[in-house]
Structures are given as structure tokens and as C-alpha cells.
Amino acid sequence: MRTQHPKSYLYEHVARIGKALSNPKRLELVELLAQGEKSVETLSAQAGIDMRLTSAHLKALREARLVETRRDGRYVHYRLSGPDVSHLWVSLREVAEEHLVELRLALTQMVSEPDSLSSESRESLLHKARQGEVFVIDVRPLSEYDAGHLPFARSMPLAELEKRLADLPQDRTIVAYCRGPFCLMSDEAVKLLRAKGFIAKKISDGVSEWAASGLPIET
Amino acid sequence: MRTQHPKSYLYEHVARIGKALSNPKRLELVELLAQGEKSVETLSAQAGIDMRLTSAHLKALREARLVETRRDGRYVHYRLSGPDVSHLWVSLREVAEEHLVELRLALTQMVSEPDSLSSESRESLLHKARQGEVFVIDVRPLSEYDAGHLPFARSMPLAELEKRLADLPQDRTIVAYCRGPFCLMSDEAVKLLRAKGFIAKKISDGVSEWAASGLPIET
DNA sequence: CACACAATCTAACGATCGTTAGATTGTGTG
DNA sequence: CACACAATCTAACGATCGTTAGATTGTGTG
């Protein structure tokens, strides 16, 4: 990091952020943390990464000041250092989607229900949700819903969905969302709901994408 | 890049973009390219990097699809793949400035004339420039001015500034800008102008920052 | 077609990174 | 104070990256 030329010293610091975002596992951790504060154990389990490796990657993210920690008993809870970090993750992902054909291809193959939201349709969704024309459900775990969710959304975790079908309307469109474009929980929810006779669709937005487009998040 | 789990395949692609942005020299090249299309030779000279190494780094940027090329005779001209790439560079730099204290410290030490623009003052600068209350000069090389510049800005390259003092008003504030917060040309311009009795100040914005804040760029 | 010159390729190197697995630290509980 | 368990540390490794310098490719010019 020592340099004779003072100017390249500036770029070296920015590169620290880039380096932190240069690893797929770290990006997955950032995306999970964008859903709310989580312990190392939870991150390890949700990302499917060995806890010791998870801890090592979190250390790298902390050294780049992208995450902060809080100890609570045996648990250490990690969180993003600010909303700008989740916004950066969204921008990075959008540039990748825009320019890397392979990524777009992989996405269309994996995601059974492609439904991107343009800025207009976000506004119109908000309007319909406010009017009660659609029923928006958040299929992430409850703790993530509590950490922040779309306006007018109800928590309906994927794991509990089948048991709680009675809480859902049969005459209106149900709109499901989860963690973002890479998350498949909303796809599974739509598949299940349609099999049960509901009118359901998904949006690819998560709270990060929603917030990055300038719209409000509820807590 | 091969993975058994289809999901991590998505993050691997996004990590390609992060990897491309994980090196200080590549970031400097991206910032230079945000000023407009340039040949390998020009980039090498302006960044002070050996041409063979410059070419290698550009190859990495091209493989991440962040830049595109155009051959013109012996010269190969590189350009950013889109405005989203220069926006991403700005976001990355802003996150670094926000969270890395060392970077903020280094910046205040290097930049003699700190003057960040908030969103309000950008609008008000635009208004004053339109009214002719201030005289905005772009001190970058002419080719960069031609590739895109702030509205109402006149080209006044730093190298020619001393010879062209007669073109500048003595009764109004002169506002200088260059490539962005890491660029020192506007500082030098202000120093020179003040020594010659002009009323001068700088703004840290370059065209990328200006455009990223949603304001228009002229060509 | 010899030459100039921009750009790229190649091989080689030391440094850094990602991953694994065992050891250790830190906190709470019986 | 023994124990459970979350989290971190450590050492070791193979893989990747950054850099250097010589060789080669590609295009235009006399």
C-alpha cells in the first residue's frame, strides 16, 4: 500500500473496496447482509459456506469497511456499514447483468418467472398495493421482513406458505418478492400458489433494488 | 468458473466485474476513459504506466466487458462500455470516500482547494452559469472537453491557461473543474489564476460525477 | 518491401488470495 | 469451574494476479 506517487495512493484505497467485491462468496454475503443484520452462524448456514471460511470472508469485508459488527453474547452480528453499500451491490449487479451476456443467459435459465420492474411499474405496483388491488407478500424469513420490507407487504415466509394459504386472497393477484433477482424463493412461492389455484406473480426486486430506485422501505 | 451449484454461478459473474475494479491502475484507467475514448498510448502516457502493462490491464477490463475497442489504423481506441460503467466508478469511489477514513485524510492533504458539491449547489451552479454570473472553465485537454463537458463550460486546458488569460473575465468568479475529486488540474488552475489576480474557485466534480447526479452533459 | 511504431503476446517471477482443517479464544450455562 | 458452542486464528497448499522484459503481430508509410 506504500507508494511514492501520492496520486496512486488514492486509487489504492478505492481498489480496497473493489477487492472486497471481487469474490463470489463475499458478494453473496453482502447480498444476505443487505436483507438485515445476521450472525456469522446464520450467514454461514444461509450461504452454505463453512463457518470458518465465512468468518474469514467477513473479516475481509470488515477490513474494507463495508461491514460492521456487534457482539451479543456468543454471537457476533454483522451488518452493512450503510445503505450506500447495498446500493453499490445493486449497481455492481446491474452492470454485470447489462454487459455480461453469460449472466443474463444463466438468469433466464434459472429463474422460471422473469419479471423485471421498470421504474414506472414500481410506482404502479406501489399504487395498486396501496389501493388493495394486489396483495404483496414477502417470502423471506420473518427476521428479514422485520429488518425492512416493501410498503404494504405482508410477511409470508416460504417455509410457512403452505400452512398459511387461508390468509391469502383468492380474488386478487398475489405479488411475491424475496431477496432480489438472484433469489429463487419468490419463484417457488409462485409455483406453489398457482398449483393451489391462486393468481400469483413475482417481481425480481428485493428491498435493496426497491430502495436503490428511490422508493421507501418500511420497518 | 465451473460450479456444481447453479446459484453461485451468478455471483461468479458479478465477481468478474468486482475483480476488474480491484486494481488501482485499472481504476485509474477507468477514470481516464470516463473522460472520453482514448488510445492505449494516450492512456499509458496519462496514467504513467508502461504501455505493455497498460495493454494487459485493458485486456482485463475488456474481458469483464467494462470497456470496448475500436481500431483506427495503428491505434486501438478504448472506451467505457456505457454510462453505467462510469456511474459505477463514481459509486465505488463514493463508498470508499464515505467509509475509508484514510482516503478522506489523504484527499484533504492533497487537494489544496476542497470544495465538494452537494446536489443543491450543483443546481445553483448551473443556474449561475446560465445567467452568466460565474464563468465555468474545463481545464482538461481539449479532446476530453469535446467528448463531453458541463453545460456552459468553456475549454481552457491547464497547459494553455497562462497564454489565454486575456479570454477570462476579471469581474466574475471563475469556476474550474477537471476529471473529478482525484484530479489536481483544477487546483493548479485556481492557484495560477489567483496569483494573476482573478477570482477563482474549483469544484471537485468531473463529468462523471455531474452525470451521476442526474444533470446533463453537453457534447 | 523495408521500416516505424502502436499494440499485443509470452514466459517467468514473487506476491497475494481462497480454501481447508486443526487449534484457540471468548462468552454463557449448568 | 467444567462444558458447550460461536467465532476467530493459524499454518499450509495450490491457484491466481501483477509486473517485467523480450518477442511478435498488425497497420501505415516511404
pLDDT tens for A40-74 read: 999 999 999 999 999 999 999 999 999 999 999 99
CA-based nearest residue to B180, from B213, B162, B206: B206
Average pLDDT over residues A1-28: 86
Candidate list A66, A67, A178, A200, residue with the active-site label: A178
Q: Is the pLDDT of residue A130 over 90?
A: yes
* DSSP string across B152-195: TPEE--HHHHGGGGGGS-SSSEEEEE-SSTT--HHHHHHHHHHH
Nucleotide nearest to A53 (CA to C1'): C19
Which pLDDT score is estimated for A6? 72
Q: What is the structure's pLDDT at B109?
A: 87
- If one compares A164 and A1, the residue with the highest pLDDT of the two is A164
Q: Residue B108: how many CB atoms within 10 A of its CB?
A: 10
Give pLDDT < 70 ranges for chain B.
Answer: 1-5, 113-120
Hey, is the C-beta of A25 within 8 angstroms of any chain B C-beta?
Answer: yes
Decide if pLDDT at A115 tops 80.
no
- Cβ–Cβ gap B106/A9 under 8 Å: yes
* Residue % of chain A over a pLDDT of 70: 94
H or E element in which residue A147 lies: helix A142-147
Query: What 3-state DSSP class applies to B92?
Result: helix
Could you write out the three-class secondary structure of B108-130? HHHCCCCCCCCHHHHHHHHHHHH
Report the pLDDT value the prediction gives residue B4, as an integer from 0 to 100: 46
In angstroms, the separation between the Cα of residue B93 and the nearest Cα of chain A is: 6
Beta strand extents in B48-161 (DSSP E only): 67-72, 75-80, 134-138, 154-155
Average pLDDT, chain A: 93
Report the distance from CA of residue B151 to the C1' of nucleotide C14 in Å, as an integer.
49
Q: What is the pLDDT of residue A14?
A: 98
* CA neighbours closer than 13 Å in the CB half-sphere of residue A15: 18
Nucleotides of C under 7 A from a protein CB: 4-10, 17-23, 26-28
Task: Write down all domains in chain A, each with its CATH number in brackets.
Answer: 6-81 (1.10.10.10), 111-212 (3.40.250.10)
Phi, psi (rounded to 5 degrees) for B218: -100, 150
Contacts of B87 in chain A (CB under 8 A): 91
Contact across the interface for A11 and B182, Cβ inside 8 Å: yes
pLDDT of residue A117: 64
Tell me what pLDDT residue B1 has.
Answer: 40
pLDDT at B128: 93
Rounded CA separation B201/B181 (Å): 14
Residue A112 has a CB neighbour count (10 Å cut-off) of 12
In degrees and rounded to multiples of 5, residue B112 shows phi and psi of -75, -25
Q: What are phi and psi of B117, to 5 degrees?
A: -110, 120
Q: Would you place residue A5 in the very low, low, confident or very high pLDDT band (cuts 50, 70, 90)?
A: low
> Which residues face B90 on adjacent strands?
none
Which one-letter amino acid corresponds to residue A19?
K
- For testing contact with chain B, the best of A49, A89, A95, A208 (most B CBs within 10 A): A95
The answer for B 143-202 residues in CB contact with A (under 8 A) is 182, 184
Calpha distance A37→B22 (Å, rounded): 26
Q: What is the pLDDT of residue A101?
A: 95
Model pTM score: 0.93
Q: Which grid cell sits at A211?
A: 430502495
Interchain CB contact of B2 with A (< 8 Å):
no
